[in-house]
Chains A and B, each alone.
Chain A
């Protein structure tokens, strides 16, 4: 069975490479955009309690929404293809990054911020030298969660014409062709595991030495 899948892959290198490239591109782009939006938003919200609560609540709700439902909601509005898929995946990636960044910033004890302020640090210096370094492990935990979610969601992008490895899976299921199915399912699983592991390692590396338990 695996041998058949391998033979199928070897016979169709180009479609596979394209699907893989699209999948990675979708995932990476969605994660990057989400990070560029969510992290600054969480940082800004951290200073204003009312905004922080609103943002946290939105993220909580966003986190519960079924991934396929979000993709499906985007389709009637924006059509099918790469861009609508990218938008939907970005939306899926926002909540975990927001939640974890907020949690990370909130974990900085009030005394530490008070001492920093009392010593004469500006707000920006406090953020850069104290709050962000301490919150960094949590931020990366959020990025890791979002990354896996996005890789998984990108599989579903096949349903709205986004391309990616999901195409092989859906084609395989539709035609009851196991080799094709495996050519989609196994690489994407490996991709997800790899991303999870990679971000985990990155998170550990970036944790300041003083904070490692």
Chain B
């Protein structure tokens, strides 16, 4: 672990890169998934198609997907972000759609009866009530994205995976450990904090 102390800056840079690229991907994925999820909540056929396509994308092995993108976008962060977005869609769309569908119909009915427009019902009633499930979806998506990021270092996207690949190439176990453990720690921390957030948000809605 002496290596880690001496090279903390290297690890830190990789860490920041990793977080940065993960956050961007997550934001883009959510921006895409939200309108699709809302539409899927209203339309069963749209839901079937959306989940079918997203599910298909999710099943493609990570490295294969990244590799298949190379002829299209070359190497680099863009490649990684596209893959990460593609893998996150299924859980985000499914949770947004289910979250909205689970809103009790009588609540929506009351809101409409009070004179809210469809958009207002969505923004003030349905989405807020769907928040716990949406956070649950974001949690799984975040962990997925972090995992893909590690592999994406191989296509020059940066991040903690670079330490791992570098370590393997130079047969330098401390580097491998640092990268791997940092990635695991990041994943666990993100999962735990979003989990806690989900619980808090759920409790508030029960009251």
Choice from B60, B149, B168 contacting A160 with Cβ under 8 Å: B168
Choice from B70, B161, B176 contacting A76 with Cβ under 8 Å: B176
User: Which residues of A have CB within 8 Å of B184?
Assistant: 65-66, 69-70, 73
Q: For the complex, give the distance between the alpha carbons of A47 and B147 in Å.
A: 33
User: Which residues of B have CB within 8 Å of A152?
Assistant: 61-64
User: Which residues of A have CB within 8 Å of B188?
Assistant: 61, 64-65
Choice from A72, A173, A184 contacting B180 with Cβ under 8 Å: A72
Is B82 interfacial (CB 8 A cutoff)? no
Does A185 contact B68, Cβ atoms closer than 8 Å? yes
Does A76 contact B173, Cβ atoms closer than 8 Å? yes
Does A69 contact B183, Cβ atoms closer than 8 Å? yes
Q: Determine how close the nearest CB of chain A comes to the CB of B44; give it in whole angstroms.
A: 15
Q: Main secondary structure on chain B at its contact with chain A? A: helix
Choice from B61, B67, B173, B187 contacting A64 with Cβ under 8 Å: B187
Does B168 contact A173, Cβ atoms closer than 8 Å? no
Q: Determine how close the nearest CB of chain A comes to the CB of B194; give it in whole angstroms.
A: 10
Q: Determine how close the nearest CB of chain A comes to the CB of B78; give it in whole angstroms.
A: 16
Q: Given A184-B64, A184-B67, A185-B67, do A68 and B187 touch, yes or no (CB 8 Å)?
A: no
Q: Main secondary structure on chain A at its contact with chain B? A: helix
Does B161 contact A64, Cβ atoms closer than 8 Å? no
Q: Given A68-B161, A69-B150, A189-B61, do A169 and B143 touch, yes or no (CB 8 Å)?
A: no
Q: For the complex, give the distance between the alpha carbons of A170 and B155 in Å.
A: 10
Choice from B64, B180, B187 contacting A188 with Cβ under 8 Å: B64
Q: Determine how close the nearest CB of chain B comes to the CB of A177; give it in whole angstroms.
A: 11
* A44-83 interface with B by 8 A CB criterion: 60-61, 63-70, 72-73, 75-76
How many residues on the B side are at the interface (Cβ–Cβ under 8 A)?
37
Counted as pairs of residues, one from A and one from B, with CB atoms less than 8 Å apart, the total is: 118
Q: Given A61-B188, A66-B183, do A169 and B59 touch, yes or no (CB 8 Å)?
A: no
User: Which residues of A have CB within 8 Å of B155?
Assistant: 173
Is A159 interfacial (CB 8 A cutoff)? yes
Q: For the complex, give the distance between the alpha carbons of A60 and B136 in Å.
A: 13
* Interface core residue of B63, B71, B154 (most chain A CB under 10 Å): B63
* Interface core residue of B60, B64, B67, B167 (most chain A CB under 10 Å): B64
Does B59 contact A193, Cβ atoms closer than 8 Å? yes
Q: For the complex, give the distance between the alpha carbons of A15 and B31 in Å.
A: 43
Q: Given A68-B150, A173-B155, do A188 and B179 touch, yes or no (CB 8 Å)?
A: no
Q: Determine how close the nearest CB of chain B comes to the CB of A146; give it in whole angstroms.
A: 13
Does B59 contact A196, Cβ atoms closer than 8 Å? yes
Choice from A72, A181, A182, A192 contacting B61 with Cβ under 8 Å: A192
Q: Can you offer 16 A-B residue contacts whose CB atoms are under 8 A?
A: A66-B184, A66-B187, A68-B147, A68-B164, A68-B183, A72-B164, A73-B181, A155-B63, A156-B151, A160-B168, A166-B63, A173-B67, A178-B70, A184-B64, A186-B64, A189-B64
Q: Which residues of A contact B (CB under 8 A)?
A: 1, 60-61, 63-70, 72-73, 75-76, 148, 151-152, 155-156, 158-160, 166, 169-170, 172-173, 178, 181-182, 184-186, 188-189, 192-193, 196
